Each structure stands twice: as C-alpha cells, then as structure tokens.
Amino acid sequence: MTSFTYSAGPARVVFGSGTIAALPDEVARLDASRALFIGTRRTEPAYAALGPLAVARFENPTMHTPVEVTEKALAVLREHNVDCLVAVGGGSAIGLAKALALRTDLPQIVVPTTYAGSEATPVLGQTADGKKTTIRNPAVLPETIVYDVDLTMGLPANLSVTSGINAMAHAVEALYSPDANPIVDQLALDAIRRLARALPNIVSDPKDRAAREDLLQAAWLAGTCLGSVSMGLHHKLAHMLGGTFGLPHSETHTVLLPHVMAYMAPAAMDRIADALGVGDAPTGVYDLVVDLGGPTSLKELGMTEQQLDTVDEYRQVLDEAWRGDRPQQTGVPDVGKLTQQVVNTMQGDNPRTRELLQDLVRTLHAYVVRNDLTESEWMHAISFLTRTGQITTETRQEFILLSDTLGISSVVDVLSNSRTPDTTPSAVLGPFYTEGPPEREHGYDIAEGLPGMPVWADVQVVDTHGKPVADAIVDVWQSNEDGFYDVQLPDLDGPVLRARFRTDADGRLRYWSIVPVSYPIPDDGPVGEMLRAAARHPHRAPHMHFMIAKPGFHKLITQLFVRGGDYLDSDAVFGVKDDLIVDFPEQHGPTPDGREVSRWSRLDFVFRVTEGQ
C-alpha cells in the first residue's frame, strides 16, 4: 500500500518577463519599506527597480555561505534597521538571505538569476571552519520568489549548463528519496524533461528565450521537489566536497550526478531515462553533460589526488567522479544519436511524407529500445511480415487482416470518419471487399438460394437534415451461413452475397439476403499465429458490410451488427460500435414482395451521410 506525507511551501511565485518592476509592490505586500538588497553589481536593474525602498546594500555574497560573511551582512542589516530582505542572484545571494532570515526572522523576496533552485527550498547550507553543514527549517523559505526571464538572458552558456544540471540533480534525488510522492514525482519528471530539452538549445543559442523560460520553470519545479523531500547521497557528497575543498557548487553537482545515479541504481532510473529520452539514465546524463561541454571530473574542478585520499566514504563513486569516467551502463545503450541520424535522412519535397517517415523512425526505434528487443526477436518479426506478404493475394488481404486485428484499422477509421456526430458511425472496410460488384435491381436476392435465414433489408440513405439522398451507390457484402465470403470459395461460380444498388428517389433500397452469422477470420496464416500467441479468438460478430457513395457526399463505409449475436463485446477486429448494433426481428406470414417463405427476418435502418468530398 502506498503512503506518504506532502507539505507544499508557502512561497508566492511571480513568473514572467520584466517582473522585477513588481518588486516595490511585493515589498509592500510584506508590509515592509526598508529593504536590505543582497546582490553584486551585475544585479543593478533589480536594485534600481526597488528605488528608495533599498535602504542598504550588501554586494559580497559568497559561495557556500560562510558564517563570517553572514555576520558582516548581519551588521549592515542592524545598522540600517531593515525590515525585509531582497536577494538577487544565484545560490550565494539566496543562501545569504536565508542565513539572515534564520537569524532575524525577516521576510525574504528572492530573484534567482541562475537555475540552482535554492529559492524554492527550506534548506540552508552554511560553512564554518572549513566544514559545510545543512539545515532544513521553514524559517529560511522565502516568502516571495520573483522569476524574471530577462535577468537570465545574459547568463553564459557554460554557467547555464552547470546550473541546469544542478537543478536536474534536485529532481533526480527527489525521485528516489524515501519521501517521494505522486506530486513530487510528476514535478520532478517535468523538470527533467524541460532541462533535457532546453539545455542543448541554450548551448546552440544562448539568446533562445523559450529555452530560458523552460530552464527557469524547471529550476522552480526541481527546487520545489527537493524542498518537499529529504536530501540524499548526492547532496551529502556535493556539500562535503564544496565545504571542505572549496569546489564550485553547481560544477560539483554536474560532475557528481551521473556517478551517484549509477551508484544508487534505483527503480526510479527507468522513469528518469524515459524523461531524458535515453535507454540508460546515468550514462544518458553523462553524455548530455559531455555534449553540452560541461565538466565531467572533479580533477578539472581543481580537486587534487591528495585531497581525494583524505576522503574515506564512497570512494568508488568519488574515484570515478575524480577521473571523469563514463559510468558503467546498467540499462540499454543510448541510441538517440543513431535515431536522429536516421530521422535526418528522411527528407523529400512532400512535408507530410517527411513528417510521417520521421515519426515512424522515432516510434520504431523507441519500441525496440523500450522492449530491449533481441536480434532473434526482430528476425522473427521480419519473418512474420515476410510470410504475411507471401500469403497475401487478390482475394486474401493478410496485411489488412493484420491491421484489423491490431485495431489499427479501427483507429484510422475513427480519426478519418468519426468527426461528424450527426452521421452514421463508420466501420473498417475489412479484407473481403472487391471492386465493381454486380449491379442488381431492388428486391434482388443476393444470397441466390444459399442456405440461411432469409432477411428482407429495407434501408434508406438521408443527409444530416433527414433529406433523402437519391441515386447513391450502395455496395453490400457479407459471409455465408458457414462464415465464408465468396472470394474464399474458389469453386463458387461468380459473386454471391455481394451486390451494388442505387437508391431510389426516396433514398431507399430493398433486397433479400440471409441473416449474417459470426465467423472466424482466416487464421491459418501469420495473423492466426499472432492471435494464438496472444490467447485471442479469431471470431467476428455477425454483420453486414455497406459502402455508400455519391458525388458531393462523404463516402460512408460501415457495418451493421446483429443484436444478441456472438462476440459483440470481443469482435476480433474491434469493429463493433453501439449505434451499429441493430435488430433483425423474426417474421411470419406474408413478405413485403410476396415471396413465399414461412420464416424470415427483416432489417430496417436509416443511414445518415454528410455533404462534402
């Protein structure tokens, strides 16, 4: 049984472009008027937006929030009798604001200019005597977060990459935290998808505003996730290395993330891999960092081998991270580059053809990867398709049968023909239609004496306003009492149980046939083999086929099913629709045209067709 506890942070979020203009109003919302502005000279636009509300300024926030720097800022705060804190910048500025809030209980407004996500967490890391410690306290959670995309537009690509991977670390750790819950899971996966989508675009074009928006939203989502769960191994190692050896914060997160993921190897990795669009999550993150030009080793961040030797815990993880080794692959190989290479070859002058082929490649490759398909399984599939083609003839359409039994024909039918609710529902064509059936006069018996319960069909074709559609061509076809169509009976002399009629001035046509019965589709070929492997039956519910066409009207291809017939709820080709199930009531006595039969049935139905081509 699933159980969890979820607490959402109380912060107010203002997101958009040019939102720093709202800083004075946000200060007023806090009933404050004397702000301490925390931020370097690069945050001048936000400082200017505050105007006279900024009664003091601290320009030297420091990485890892040393307590001595906090004490200096605290002195400025007290000297100017401030009543709120406004921090603009990355993790250093926001961390300092949190440290001050912890000591003074002053309200905070923070304006992130990176993607670290610290602004959305009740977490504070502080360094004292060369050791970094972390606390979790609701008192350090900012009251208001102002996200201004404009302030991130100038963030260099390399800093955007490490800051973005830092945010990804928050989302990843939240997914395998013991405190994870459905809300956190969805926020984390959304954050990972946005980061994986946006970071390559930023490297390609640092001015890509849509990508910047994606990254800023991802930072908020990821930070919110981390703020709702307990931190794990990744943050433990990152804070230890940063506080002890002074390693840069986001760069350290970037290097550590794939190695910690490989070490943890939880079930969450499958979901992370799916969000990243790769087969294996740890190597997928590592390869993403490489492609983005980010750091991959602690050694390149300045950590020496002698420093590494002073660390006893998790040496395997740290040794690999120090060297920058690609994590050992635990899932299926990443074929994303191969897929994209194939997609790029699908060009041509027809945009629709190009789009369909490119998506087909992506879908097929994803299916192969998702199911970790073996070579023998794929060769079996090729053999299956080969045999499907070999058994197909003019009178046996095995590929149509395959499409029907997989439900694809019905999906295409729904998409193509079920967007006009006032018309009669359509149904699949099936594999047994033949072009140019014999034209017959009204009243003709298309069964031509074959055994079965006679049925008098009296149907009408009208438009969506109920007006009769005269001179419409109506093709009808069905199976015999044994479940076979004429094209399946080579000894049969000519077409039977199929015909073409034309509606009269009232849009009507009448003919004799036999009540259809359920029957098995041909199952002596590859399609039958598939059905048996899937433990599925091959039977179709009893039905008649109709194709109605007239210039100026949409062609209607449909079927009518016998109410009470077998397999209505498990039709082998998924063709049954409630509105197509009709009565074939048994009759006794005189027939409409005087035909002498003691028992017979009748079918009365009105087909509605819509105008158009």
**Is 51 exposed, middle or buried, given 0-12, 13-18 or 19+ CB atoms closer than 10 A?**
exposed
pLDDT at 370: 82
pLDDT at 463: 95
Q: How far apart are CA 88 and CA 146, in angstroms?
A: 9
Name the region of 578 (left: φ>0; alpha: ψ -120 to 50; beta: rest).
alpha
pLDDT at 8: 66
From the DSSP assignment, how many helices (H) and strands (E) are in the chain? 19, 19
Lowest mean pLDDT among 115-124, 309-318, 324-333, 573-582: 324-333
Domains along the sequence of the chain with CATH: 1-152 (3.40.50.1970), 157-322 (1.20.1090.10), 336-370 (no CATH), 408-609 (2.60.130.10)
- Tracing tokens 């030297």 back to the chain, one arrives at 60
pLDDT at 513: 97
What are 18-33's pLDDT values in tens digits?
999 999 999 999 999 9
* 603: three-class secondary structure by DSSP: strand
Give the strand pairing for 144-148 and 519-520.
unpaired
Q: How far apart are CA 90 and CA 18, in angstroms?
A: 18
**What are the catalytic residues?**
485, 519, 540, 543, 545
Q: Given a cut of 90, is residue 336 above it in pLDDT?
A: no
- The DSSP secondary structure of 245-259, one letter per residue, reads H---HHHHHHHHHHH
- Tracing tokens 């080709």 back to the chain, one arrives at 573
Q: How far apart are CA 163 and CA 426, in angstroms?
A: 54
Mean local confidence (pLDDT), 463-473 = 96
**CA nearest neighbour of 192 among 275, 261, 260, 258:** 275
Q: Share the mean pLDDT of the chain.
A: 92
Q: Given a cut of 70, is residue 138 above it in pLDDT?
A: yes
Which residues are registered as beta bridge partners of 415?
Answer: none
The torsion angles phi and psi of 514, rounded to 5 degrees, stand at -125, 150
Mean local confidence (pLDDT), 469-481 = 96
Q: How far apart are CA 76 and CA 67, in angstroms?
A: 14
Q: How far apart are CA 113 and CA 107, in angstroms?
A: 20
Q: How far apart are CA 231 and CA 592, in angstroms?
A: 82
Q: How far apart are CA 321 and CA 218, in angstroms?
A: 25
pLDDT at 9: 66
The residue that leads in pLDDT, 489 or 332, is 489
What are 343-370's pLDDT values in tens digits?
999 998 999 999 999 999 999 998 998 8
pLDDT at 440: 97
**CA nearest neighbour of 561 among 539, 547, 576:** 576
What are 179-226's pLDDT values in tens digits?
888 888 999 999 999 999 999 999 999 999 999 999 999 999 999 988
Q: Given a cut of 90, is residue 390 above it in pLDDT?
A: yes
Q: How far apart are CA 524 and CA 521, in angstroms?
A: 9
What are 145-167's pLDDT values in tens digits?
999 999 999 999 999 999 999 99
pLDDT at 489: 86
pLDDT at 265: 65
- Tracing tokens 């709120």 back to the chain, one arrives at 84
pLDDT at 464: 93
- % of the chain beyond a pLDDT of 70: 98
Amino acid at 507: G
What are 48-107's pLDDT values in tens digits?
999 999 999 999 999 889 999 999 999 999 999 999 999 999 889 999 999 999 999 999
Q: Which helix (H) or strand (E) holds 113?
A: none
pLDDT at 177: 84
- The DSSP secondary structure of 530-582, one letter per residue, reads HHHHTT---EE--EEEEEEE-TTB--EEEEEEETT-TTTTS-TT----GGGEE
Instruction: Tell me the pLDDT band of 388, cut-offs 50, 70 and 90.
Output: very high
Q: Give the chain's largest Cα–Cα span.
A: 112
Amino acid at 611: E
Report residue 323 as tokens.
Answer: 């060297």
Instruction: Tell me the pLDDT band of 6, cut-offs 50, 70 and 90.
Output: low
Write b or e for each residue in 483-496: b if 16 or more Cβ atoms lie within 10 A of its Cβ, otherwise e.
Answer: bbbbbeeeeeeebb
In the chain, what is the straight-line distance between the N-terminal and C-terminal CA atoms, in Å? 55
